[in-house]
A and B are shown apart, each in its own frame.
Chain A
Amino acid sequence: GDSVTQMEGPVTLSEEAFLTINCTYTATGYPSLFWYVQYPGEGLQLLLKATKADDKGSNKGFEATYRKETTSFHLEKGSVQVSDSAVYFCALTYNTNAGKSTFGDGTTLTVKP
């Protein structure tokens, strides 16, 4: 079956540091890939998405590229802020089963001033 593997956390960075959170997946088909963010005490919010190979999703300074050859969708940001402290989830889903997503375990990011 399908699965999503994220780098283990927690990750602690200083403000303005470069961020990478690794995400790899196994899939039987051709899914869309997503990054969700969960701020403390809140629900999940979509951060960015990519629907096919080589697509790059971007939002709020975060980027991730759908790499079919390496089955990866790593999240990056060039300069993190304290407000980026949250839990980040990588996920995949298929067009034919919208809403039935497979999630990674989540990576907790803490950014210190």
Chain B
Amino acid sequence: SAVISQKPSRDICQRGTSLTIQCQVDSQVTMMFWYRQQPGQSLTLIATANQGSEATYESGFVIDKFPISRPNLTFSTLTVSNMSPEDSSIYLCSVVRESSYNEQFFGPGTRLTVL
């Protein structure tokens, strides 16, 4: 398995501000993924964080709104910029271990509330 930690675990933010979420993995992984889970809804992939190159964003998500960093093989950050109440969600980091045949491991999530 993989041990994934996220910081902060939760936050309450004001409209128009930005929040950076950190994801730390206990071992090196090639790809890290950021998901959003809106209240009462399913998980939606935001982007794939690639080490050494720009993140790959899914349809409907843009770098200006969700800038991502991936400075090394165990760490990534997701920033939620210029927040609005619609950004209130749980943000989850996940990784795939090459040896685990597509098994995804998820972090505990960051619960964000925007007022």
Residues of A bordering B, CB below 8 Å: 32, 34, 36, 41-46, 49, 51, 89, 93, 95, 98-101, 103-106
* Known A42-B108, A43-B108, A103-B42; contact A95-B92, beta-carbon cutoff 8 A: no
- A-chain residues with CB within 8 Å of residue B83 when the two chains form the complex: none
> Which 9 A-B pairs give the minimum distances between C-beta atoms?
A44-B106, A43-B106, A99-B96, A43-B108, A103-B43, A103-B42, A105-B42, A98-B96, A98-B102
Interface size class of B (residues with CB under 8 A): 20 to 34
* Known A99-B31, A99-B95, A100-B48; contact A46-B43, beta-carbon cutoff 8 A: no
- A-chain residues with CB within 8 Å of residue B48 when the two chains form the complex: 99-100
* Known A99-B31, A99-B94; contact A89-B106, beta-carbon cutoff 8 A: no
- A-chain residues with CB within 8 Å of residue B95 when the two chains form the complex: 99
Assembled-state Cα–Cα distance A106/B92 (Å): 15
Is B103 among interface residues, defined by CB-CB distance under 8 A? yes
Assembled-state Cα–Cα distance A62/B26 (Å): 29
Contact for A100 among B4, B33, B101, CB less than 8 A = B33
**A–B complex contacts, Cβ < 8 Å, 28 sampled:** A32-B101, A34-B104, A36-B104, A41-B108, A42-B108, A43-B106, A43-B108, A44-B104, A45-B106, A46-B104, A49-B102, A49-B103, A51-B102, A89-B42, A93-B102, A95-B102, A98-B31, A98-B96, A99-B31, A99-B94, A99-B96, A100-B33, A101-B43, A103-B42, A103-B44, A105-B41, A105-B42, A106-B41
